[in-house]
C-alpha cells in the first residue's frame, strides 16, 4: 500500500487527437501542443512534480510515438553532449546554464490504442500501476489545484474516486440588465456558476471493476455507477483552471506564459 505522495503514480490520458485545435495539433497529439517552448504535457507533469510526485504513466493513443520520441531524446535535447556518429554513442555534460536542470522523472509509456476511450485507457495501464491509489488527469489541462490537499480529501472520505470540480472560464463578457432594458453593469469574462469536471482525479484501484473495456468512457458508465453506489466525491476548487480545447485556449495560455503571468507555474 502506497502511503506517501512521493511514492504515488500519475496516469495522464494522452490519446487526444486535438480535432478542435487542428491548426496547431495536426502533426502531433494534443498533449504535445506547446505552451512557451514546452508541451502542455510537460507543464502538467511539472505541477505534480512540485508536490514530489515523479512517477508518471502516460496512456498513449493518437501519434503516441511523438511523445515517446520526445522523452526518449529528452536528455539529448536538454544537455550539452559529444556524439559519435559511428555508433551513436553520446557523452552528456552536466547542465551549465540557468534553468537547464533535467527533471528526475520515471515515465512509463503505454500504447493504449488510437480509438480507445478514457476508461479503456485507464484499464489498459492497470498492469503498470502499483499501490491501491493513484492520481489521474487529462493531458490538456493546467491548474493551481493543491495536489496534496486533493489527496488528503480523497483519503478522508474513503470512497473509490475523487474528481476535481472547477469553474468553467468563459470567453465572453456578461451584460447584466433590468427588464426595461437598462444596463446595470458589464462583467468581463466571468467564470460560470457551478462546477464542471476538471480532471485531477484520485482513484482507488476499485475503479477498474467499473470499466468494461476499450469502448468505456470513464465519465459515462463508470462514474454514473459510482454515483449510484455513493463512491464518487467532488473536491471543490475555486482557483485557476484552464484546458487547451480550442485555438483560443492555446493563444490564451501562451499569452499568460509569455507575460510571466502563468498561475499554474507553481514550481
Computed over every residue of the chain, the mean pLDDT equals 89
C-alpha cell at 201: 482525479
Predicted confidence (pLDDT) at residue 99 exceeds the cutoff of 50: no
Q: Does domain 5-166+195-258 have CATH number 3.90.550.10?
A: yes
pLDDT digits (tens, 9 = 90+) for 112-136: 999 999 999 999 999 999 999 999 9
Predicted confidence (pLDDT) at residue 260 exceeds the cutoff of 90: yes
C-alpha cell at 213: 473495456
Buried b (16+ CB within 10 A) or exposed e, 94-133: eeeeeeeeeeebebebbebbeebbbbbbbbbbeeebeeeb
- Closest residue by Cα to residue 57 from 103, 8, 16, 101: 8
Sketch the domain layout of the chain as residue ranges. 5-166+195-258
Whether the model clears a pTM of 0.75, i.e. scores above it, the answer is: yes
- Regarding beta strands 34-35 and 81-83, do their DSSP bridges make them parallel or antiparallel, or are they unpaired? unpaired
Amino acid at each position: 500500500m502506497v502511503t506517501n505522495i512521493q511514492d504515488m503514480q500519475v496516469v495522464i490520458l494522452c490519446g487526444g487527437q486535438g480535432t478542435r485545435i487542428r491548426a496547431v495539433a495536426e502533426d502531433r497529439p494534443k498533449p504535445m501542443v506547446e505552451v512557451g517552448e514546452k508541451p502542455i504535457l510537460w507543464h502538467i507533469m511539472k505541477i505534480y512534480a512540485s508536490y514530489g510526485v515523479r512517477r508518471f504513466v502516460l496512456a498513449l493513443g493518437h501519434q503516441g510515438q511523438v511523445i515517446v520520441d520526445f522523452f526518449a531524446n529528452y536528455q539529448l535535447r536538454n544537455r550539452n553532449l559529444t556524439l559519435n556518429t559511428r555508433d551513436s554513442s553520446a557523452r552528456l555534460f552536466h547542465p551549465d546554464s540557468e534553468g537547464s536542470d533535467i527533471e528526475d522523472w520515471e515515465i512509463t509509456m503505454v500504447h493504449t490504442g488510437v480509438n480507445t476511450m478514457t476508461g479503456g485507457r485507464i484499464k489498459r495501464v492497470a498492469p503498470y500501476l502499483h499501490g491501491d491509489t493513484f492520481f489521474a488527469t487529462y493531458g490538456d489541462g493546467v491548474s493551481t489545484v493543491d495536489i496534496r490537499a486533493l489527496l488528503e480529501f480523497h483519503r478522508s472520505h474513503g470512497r473509490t474516486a475523487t474528481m476535481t470540480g472547477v469553474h468553467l472560464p468563459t470567453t465572453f463578457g456578461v451584460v447584466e440588465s433590468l427588464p426595461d432594458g437598462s444596463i446595470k453593469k458589464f462583467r468581463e469574462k466571468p467564470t460560470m456558476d457551478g462546477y464542471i469536471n476538471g480532471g485531477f482525479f484520485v482513484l482507488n484501484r476499485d475503479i477498474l471493476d467499473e470499466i468494461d473495456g476499450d469502448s468505456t468512457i470513464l465519465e459515462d458508465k463508470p462514474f454514473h455507477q459510482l454515483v449510484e453506489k455513493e463512491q464518487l466525491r467532488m473536491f471543490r476548487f475555486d482557483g485557476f483552471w484552464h484546458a487547451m480545447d480550442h485555438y483560443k485556449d492555446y493563444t490564451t495560455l501562451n499569452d499568460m506564459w509569455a507575460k510571466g503571468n502563468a498561475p499554474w507555474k507553481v514550481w
